[in-house]
Every structure is written in C-alpha cells, then in structure tokens.
Amino acid sequence: MFNHIKPSAPDPIMSLMEAYMQDPHPKKVNLGIGLYYDHQGNIPLMRAVHIAEQRLLEQQRPHTYPPIEGSALFARQVQTLLFGEAAAQSARHLATVQTVGGSGALKLGADFLCHYLSRREIWVSDPTWANHWAIFEGAGLRVNTYPYFDNASGELRFDAMLDAFSALPEGAVVLLHPCCHNPTGTDLSQAQWRAVIDVLQRRRLLPFFDIAYQGFGDGLEEDCFALRETLKTDLDFLVSNSFSKNVALYGQRLGGLSVCCGSADSAANVKGALKTLIRRSYSCPPTHGSQIVEALLADDHLRQLWASELASMRQRIKQTRVSLAAGLEQGGTTLDYRRIRDQKGMFSYTGLNEQQLSQLRQQYSIYLVAPGRMCLPGLNQHNLDYVTAAILDVTLP
C-alpha cells in the first residue's frame, strides 16, 4: 500500500540541528536554527514565564476543552500586544484566534485565503523563511517572490520591491515581515514602511504580516510599526504572530492569527470562518501555553518583568553583533562585517559563501544555515573568540 512513497526531503534547518547534535567536536558551535540561547549557551526559562506557570499550577485547574478559537482574554491580549491601545480605539475590527504556533497561524491564514477568498497565489520576499514556501505551497497556493535583498551588495532592494508591488494585480496577497526579517536580518525603516503601505493601499493589495520576533528588533512597540500604520488605513489584512521566541515557549506551540476587517459584522463572520477551518483540522488549541501567557500579560508586574527580560535578550544580541563585527574588523577580514553589526533580530545574512560555510563546518564544526545565515544568540563568551578566529581564517585575503 505504501511502497510508492519515496524518502522525503528533510527540513534544511532542523536537519542541520540534528547534524550538530551528532557532531563529537568538543568546540562545536550551533549558529543554525533560530533559538535564543543565553550567555551560558542555554535556552532560558524566562523568570516571568516561570512565575506565571507556577501560579497556574497552584490553581489546579482541570484540563478541559477550550473554545475553538482560544479564550477571549488571550485574543484581546494578542491584539493589545500587536496594536497597543490603538486596537480598541480603531474604527477597524479585528478577528483574532489562538493558533498552534506562528506556523499554525500561517497555515490557517493560507487555508482562509484559499477557501474563503479563492486566492491561488501569494508573493513572498526573495529570500524568505524556507517554511513559508512549504506552508503556502502545502495549502495549495502558488508561491511567487518579490525582490527584497541583494546578497552580493548586502543592500535592501527597496526600489525593486516597490516596483514589484506596483505591478501586482488588485487583491494580490503579499507576505511581509514587520521586524527581524528571516533570514536576512534586514528591515525596512519607518519611512520605507510608509512608502510600502502607500503602494499596498493604492494597488488595493492584501498584506499578510508574519511577526515571529516581536521584541527582538527595536522593542515590543517599535517592532509593530508596520502593523500599526496599516491599521490606520482602510486596508484589510492578516497578521500571524508567534510566542515561540519572545516568551521562549517554543514547545508549547503558541501563536495567533488576527484578521483586520472593515466592520464588526465582517469580523464576526471571518472569525466564524476561522473557527470552521480550525474545527475541521485539529478541533481546538492546546491550553497550557496560552494560560501561561494570559497570566503573564494580565499581571502588570509580570508583564513588566517579561518585557525587561526580553529587552536584555535583545541587548545581548546587539552586543554580540558589535563584538563579533569588531573582532572581524580588527582581524582584517574580507567579509563585510557591517552586516553582522547592523542587521536586526536573531539573524545575520553574513555574505559568507558556500565554500567558506563548508570550511567552517568541516574544519571547525561551526554550523550556519545556507547561504550564510548566522543565528547570533548561538554566540557567547565561551565561543566568540573561537568563531571570530575561524571566520577570519576562512575569509582572509
């Protein structure tokens, strides 16, 4: 019955992680998968998250079924986190549901586009996260690209991006990263976002914002600039958000999908459509992670503690960027170290070429994602000198 099924292509990022785990080299360094590690090389259990979870456990709540869309409190908290107080005051109406991670939000959004809006195509940045392709193609959409980043020069292809948007048909769906672009770490300035939103509006396009790293760029509020600016327009749009990184709840699989609509009736009907899609897929979401986040965000003290822990994580990444770039500059590297210094979020598109990557892996057991994406939090005081020396070695003239 199953003999015709051929071996599947592995997930490129996950399989790199597996190769790293099996590598016996004592100085191996994982700069591959997007996980935040602290200065000791551990994935943190955030203190605010731990306290919220303790409180939850003390309540000894039964593990009953949640509503299909998750709790109303969680939905309001997601809206406030993404849009601030403007969410409540806006003339626009948001339909928000809990999802199985940011990935689940992307898949639910893709199903919604297919089944309720008859969309058959989406435009994603060139390059983008490999799973965007997998998720959207898997949902039956054709994936096209718009110009975004030139890996040779290290520059954002801003004009080409605007031109591409201007040429799209009305109603075309464009996937945008509001902050911490994965994989390039290259974000738009506020002025550039305004210009993009202008074109989206003029061409009546349908933006789908995917925000998986809120708080890792410039700050919890600043990272939502594009979302909040778009909320001020009359555009309908989708937002997928993830709590994997910024609450370090990776394995709890917690995220949200929000759809911005023109009227309360429309938002209610959209929410009904999302519930139908969830119901016939996995019925309702898991509760442990969402209850932790509800307890965390509902308590002023815990919310502030969390925000300050997140700010420290962001600062650590920025400091790591500066240290690595300085080490490379002082060592006389041929690599454009300014990319490492200036890009935002967890990743840097270093410009290291295929041969240099392979040398880093073969000679030093340092793992990066092709073509040259480095996950900065994999660096710490114990391995920074080792990695700096290795990159200098593979990039010396």
Cite the active site residues: 129, 210, 245
Shortest distance (Å) from residue 359 CB to ligand PLP: 27
From ligand TYF, ligand PLP, none, interface partner of 242 (C-beta below 5 to 8 A by class): ligand PLP
CA distances from 196 to 157, 174, 176 (A): 13, 11, 10
Shortest distance (Å) from residue 184 CB to ligand PLP: 11
β-pairing, 149-150 vs 155-156, is antiparallel
Stretch that binds ligand PLP, among 100-108, 224-232, 258-266, 319-327 (CB under 6 A): 100-108
From ligand TYF, ligand PLP, none, interface partner of 45 (C-beta below 5 to 8 A by class): none
Residue from 244, 356, 365, 383 touching ligand PLP (CB under 6 A): that is: 244
Tokens of 286: 């898991």
From ligand TYF, ligand PLP, none, interface partner of 167 (C-beta below 5 to 8 A by class): none
The DSSP H or E segment spanning 261 is strand 254-261
- What is the DSSP-derived secondary structure letter of residue 250? G
Nearest alpha-carbon partner for 321 in 212, 216, 178, 210: 216
Applying CB under 6 A, does 102 fall inside the site for ligand PLP?
A: yes
Q: Which is nearer to ligand PLP, 313 or 335 (CB)?
A: 313
Q: Which is nearer to ligand PLP, 230 or 242 (CB)?
A: 242
- What is the DSSP-derived secondary structure letter of residue 38? -
Q: How many chain residues bind ligand TYF (CB under 6 A)? A: 8
Nearest alpha-carbon partner for 238 in 214, 263, 270: 270
Q: Which residues, including other chains, have CB under 8 Å from residue 239's CB and lie 6 or more apart?
A: 82, 208, 209, 210, 211, 227, 256, 257, 258, 259, 260
Applying CB under 6 A, does 79 fall inside the site for ligand PLP?
A: no
Q: Which is nearer to ligand TYF, 98 or 182 (CB)?
A: 182
Q: Which is nearer to ligand TYF, 104 or 327 (CB)?
A: 104
> Rounded distance, CA 341 to CA 332, Å?
15
- What is the DSSP-derived secondary structure letter of residue 39? T
- Length of the chain (residues): 397
> Rounded distance, CA 279 to CA 357, Å?
44
Shortest distance (Å) from residue 19 CB to ligand TYF: 14
Shortest distance (Å) from residue 62 CB to ligand PLP: 26
Shortest distance (Å) from residue 244 CB to ligand PLP: 4
Q: Which is nearer to ligand TYF, 14 or 298 (CB)?
A: 14
Tokens of 244: 């994997």
What is the identity of the amino acid at 29? V
**Using CA atoms in the order 71, 76, 81, 82, what is the torsion angle rounded to 10 degrees?**
100
Residue from 20, 29, 30, 34 touching ligand TYF (CB under 6 A): that is: 34
Shortest distance (Å) from residue 250 CB to ligand PLP: 6
Q: E strands along 17-148, which residues? A: 29-31, 93-100, 121-126, 142-147
Applying CB under 6 A, does 214 fall inside the site for ligand PLP?
A: no
> Rounded distance, CA 311 to CA 307, Å?
6
Q: Which is nearer to ligand TYF, 185 or 327 (CB)?
A: 185
Nearest alpha-carbon partner for 369 in 131, 39, 103: 131
Which residues in 156-215 contact ligand TYF (CB under 6 A)?
Answer: 182
- What is the DSSP-derived secondary structure letter of residue 234? S
From ligand PLP, ligand TYF, none, interface partner of 13 (C-beta below 5 to 8 A by class): ligand TYF
Q: Which is nearer to ligand TYF, 34 or 256 (CB)?
A: 34
273 in Cβ contact with 68 (< 8 Å): no
Residue from 127, 178, 185, 255 touching ligand PLP (CB under 6 A): that is: 255
From ligand TYF, ligand PLP, none, interface partner of 345 (C-beta below 5 to 8 A by class): none
Nearest alpha-carbon partner for 184 in 201, 161, 207, 163: 161
Shortest distance (Å) from residue 250 CB to ligand TYF: 8
Stretch that binds ligand TYF, among 6-14, 69-77, 229-237, 301-309 (CB under 6 A): 6-14
Chain residues binding ligand PLP by CB under 6 A are 34, 101-103, 129, 182, 210, 212, 242, 244, 255
Chain residues binding ligand TYF by CB under 6 A are 11, 13-14, 33-34, 129, 131, 182
